Amino acid sequence: MADAVLFEFLHTEMVAELWARDPDPGPGGQKMNLSVLEGMGFRVGQALGERLPREMLAFREELDVLKFLCKDLWVAVFQKQMDSLRTNHQGTYVLQDNSFPLLIRMASGLQYLEEAPKFLAFTCGLLRGTLSTLGVKSLVTASVAALPTCKFQVVIQKS
Amino acid sequence: MADAVLFEFLHTEMVAELWARDPDPGPGGQKMNLSVLEGMGFRVGQALGERLPREMLAFREELDVLKFLCKDLWVAVFQKQMDSLRTNHQGTYVLQDNSFPLLIRMASGLQYLEEAPKFLAFTCGLLRGTLSTLGVKSLVTASVAALPTCKFQVVIQKS
């Protein structure tokens, strides 16, 4: 009995429930659903971030914070590490997961590619929320070129 | 970093999101929200049940199935065992958790008692769904007399 899949099942149900209310929400409704998911992810990320040991909340380098997301956060949520982390050294980071767990079940063909955004919104929020608790304001977007590989782009917002 | 709390945070967000759409849903809307949560729990329970080792799916005694829920399922979802299991030996079981994790955060006073049902519906469904995969049709209800103690009543439906 694996409790690791509990999050995955619950996430699937959440996405299904939002879309079940309005099976053909149109561009506006689609956007609202994505924003609801992103918001839920943000608050879960914040809450997870608040449970970090204090010393972790005092990262000195931006890059350390991103490495923390790729290792510790990813393992806590998905039981695996992010596959790669790249940066332009100007506040933009690309985090790549070659087999993103929330996409694996639909990874069987190009025809599902357009369904991908609804399975990414929560996780974008999760990254943004955890960063927020760590004192880093950011914009997070996700893109999929070939399932189940997924790239999360984090752009740090300088204040 | 505890991933055990991930489920709890996500569950909280799910409840909040359902009620946020209609802060004062009235008796009918309240009931619909509870039924949505119960349905999500049912499907997650079914999915978890399907991941059981085959030999577990061939329980001989009804009581063994209930014991399985109290031990294995509860540990997988809540990282603790149910505190007690009682039965009238006529198909009714009462499962008691003296500090139900999804109620602990609101366990500070009687004034929150009326809010409790929304934090129990998903888990009622979870029990019913897992039982369903194990071949047992049931009705599951929950009651709270004093927070955070919670009783789940399982009534087996004989076919």
Helix, strand or coil, per DSSP, at residue A82: coil
**With contacts defined as CB-CB under 8 Å, which chain A residues touch B48?**
1, 5-6, 9
Contact state of A5 with B73 under an 8 Å Cβ cutoff: no
Instruction: Kindly tell me if the per-residue pLDDT of A108 is higher than 70.
Output: no
Work out the average pLDDT over B135-151: 91
Distance (Å, whole) CA B26 – CA B49: 34
Predicted pLDDT at B27: 76
| Among A52, A104, A55, CA closest to A73 | A52
At B152, is the pLDDT very low, low, confident or very high (cuts 50, 70, 90)? Answer: very high
| A43 chain-B contacts, CB cut-off 8 A | 9, 13
Hey, what are A60's tokens? 């000195």
Residue A73: list chain B partners with CB under 8 A: 1
Peptide bond into A148 cis (omega under 30): yes
- Which residue in chain A is spatially nearest to B2 when comparing CA positions? A76
Q: Rounded to the nearest 5 degrees, what angle is found at the Cα of B104, between the Cα atoms of B35 and A126?
A: 70
Q: Give the C-alpha separation, A115 to B1, whole Å.
A: 31
Contact between chains at A9 and B52 (C-beta distance less than 8 A):
no
d(CA A87, CA B113): 50
Q: Predicted confidence band at A41 (pLDDT cuts at 50, 70, 90)?
A: very high
Quick one: DSSP state of residue B31?
H
In a 3-state reduction of DSSP, which class is residue B83?
A: coil
Residues A65-96 have pLDDT tens digits of 999 999 989 988 998 999 999 999 999 999 99
What angle is formed at CA B100 by the lines to CA B94 and CA B102, rounded to 5 degrees? 125
Q: Which residues of B85-109 are buried (b: 16+ CB within 10 A; e: fewer)?
A: beeeeeeebebbbeebbbbeeeeee
Using a pLDDT cut of 90, give the percent of chain B over it.
Answer: 48
CA distance A88 to chain B (A): 29
Instruction: Name the residue type at position B125.
Output: G
d(CA A43, CA A19): 21
Give me the residue label for tokens 């149910």.
B82
Q: How far apart are CA A11 and CA B44, in angstroms?
A: 10
Q: How far is B50 from chain A (nearest CA, A)?
A: 9
Contact A130, A113 (CB under 8 A): no
**B-chain residues within 8 Å CB-CB of A5?**
47-48, 51
The CB-side HSE value for A129 (13 A sphere, CA atoms) comes to 23
Q: Letter for the amino acid at B68?
A: F
Structure tokens that stand for A37 in this block:
């998911």
The mean pLDDT value of chain A amounts to 87
Q: What is the pLDDT at residue B24?
A: 73
Q: Residues of A with CB below 8 A from B14's CB? A: 10, 14, 40
**Tokens 């695996």, located at residue:** A80
Q: Which two structure tokens, joined as six digits, stand for A30?
A: 């689609």
Task: Report ipTM for this prediction.
Answer: 0.82
* Threshold 0.90, pTM exceeds: no
**A51:B5 CB<8 A:** yes
**A10/B9 touch (CB, cutoff 8 Å), yes or no:** no
Query: Do β-strands A92-97 and A150-156 pair in parallel, antiparallel, or remain unpaired?
Result: antiparallel
Q: Which residue of A has its CA nearest to B123?
A: A10
Q: Round to whole Å and give the CA distance between A84 and A94.
A: 8
Are A73 and B1 inside 8 Å of each other by CB?
A: yes
**E-state strands within B31-114:** 84-87, 92-97
**Mind telling me how many Å the CA of A98 is from chain B's nearest CA?**
22
Identify the CA nearest to B121 among candidates B2, B6, B18, B4: B18
DSSP-derived letter for residue B146 is S
d(CA B36, CA B34): 5
| E strand or H helix at B78 | helix B74-78
Token pair, residue A127, equals 């990254």
**Contacts of residue B68 in chain A, CB cutoff 8 Å?**
none
